Amino acid sequence: MDSLGLTFRCYLVTSFGGDFIEDLMRSIMTRLALPLALLVALAAAPAGAHPHVWIDGRANFVFDPAGRLTALGIHWAFDDLYSVFTVQGLDKNRDGKVDANELAPMVADMLKNLKA
């Protein structure tokens, strides 16, 4: 009978010698050790973390006429909820729009964090 990739054998023995029992136990332990270790490893639960930010990213590779990479452009699009949370309070002139000057300190801080 096969179960979990293990094969079990039935032995009919009229007398139990010490070597037979030792060999049988060694065989059973050898056959069970790896599957049992795998079972324990696979039973580990994944971390219960959840993301606070969802980002869609895109990378643009720029090549010169010789085919050498000259620039790498990265575009990140953050989810709406994080975007609203991040710019909250940055509209200093209260015109309902966050312009480039108002975003500059936040962008500088984010770039500093990326370099760290």
pLDDT of residue 14 exceeding 60: no
Residue extents of the structural domains in the chain:
2-42, 55-115
Q: What per-residue confidence (pLDDT) applies to 7?
A: 44
* % the chain with pLDDT above 70: 77
Q: Collapse the DSSP code of 19 into the 3-class scheme (helix H, G, I; strand E, B; otherwise coil) and give the result.
A: helix
CA distance 7 to 44: 25
Q: Collapse the DSSP code of 32 into the 3-class scheme (helix H, G, I; strand E, B; otherwise coil) and give the result.
A: helix
Q: What per-residue confidence (pLDDT) applies to 10?
A: 47
Write the pLDDT tens digit of every residue in 51-102: 678 888 889 999 999 989 999 888 888 889 888 888 888 888 889 888 999 9
Per-residue pLDDT band for 27 (boundaries 50, 70, 90) equals confident
Q: What per-residue confidence (pLDDT) applies to 3?
A: 39
Q: What per-residue confidence (pLDDT) applies to 61?
A: 92
Token pair of 34 as six digits: 């790896």
Place of tokens 């795998």: 38
Q: What per-residue confidence (pLDDT) applies to 86?
A: 86
